[in-house]
Amino acid sequence: MNKIVLIRHGESTWNKLNQFTGWHDVDLTENGGREAKLAAKLLKKENFYFDEAHTSVLKRAINTLWSIMNDLQQPWLPVKKTWRLNERHYGALEGLNKHETLLKYGEKTVVAWRRSFDAIPPQIKISDIRFPGNDRRYSNVDIKDIPLGESLELTVNRVVPYWKKNILPNLKKNKKIIVVAHGNSLRALIQYLKKIDINHISELNIPTAIPIILEFDKQWIAQKYYFLQ
């Protein structure tokens, strides 16, 4: 079986505070750092090595990847960073406490924003300080492509083109690849590859820093995925 390793970043400071994070660039907690080391330990136990890595442009994912690569003695690994692997943008929810948001908007609405396929959270305006276009790391991104708030469906629409152009072709060349990204960018990718029914996508949860092994057949159709424990 052909394989790829997918990992969500370790626990971040806003994960710990139960805040909607999205594209906001927060650090790992001490526990998140430990989670990254545990991920490396699990990969090392199974004799994984890699030819290249892909990650987002957010430091919680980048630092998780660096930690894993250092512990695997592969700090030299070529790394491609892209905004297309960023967490979904939570729009006007970014920075808000999730419990307080439930009390304000109601559980049904918030659960739909968080877990459904097509529900879009309240969007921000370009004038909002949280608009990613104000960040120099996105200076080369067409402003029309920078989100104001995303559903999982919209996240799929930006993740999949990167998969098709930058990851799948190298998998087909038998390169061993690791992707360290975010809960929803990985949910988006798995939904697309495994053709998960959009009515059941809420059941797919990606825990922090647990390696996911995704296997493909000879036709590069995703067959199964499982967590290293």
Which of 11, 24, 54, 87 is flagged as catalytic? 87
For 177, the token pair is: 């690849």
Is there a contact between 200 and 26 (Cβ–Cβ < 8 Å)?
no
Which of 9, 24, 54, 89 is flagged as catalytic? 9
Rounded-to-integer distance, Cα 102 and Cα 185, Å: 23
Query: Active-site residue 87, yes or no?
Result: yes
Beta carbons within 10 angstroms of residue 61's beta carbon: 27
Beta carbons within 10 angstroms of residue 26's beta carbon: 17
Rounded-to-integer distance, Cα 2 and Cα 205, Å: 23
For 121, the token pair is: 């959270």
Which class for 74: exposed (0-12), middle (13-18), buried (19 or more C-beta within 10 A)? middle
Query: Which residues are catalytically annotated?
Result: 9, 87
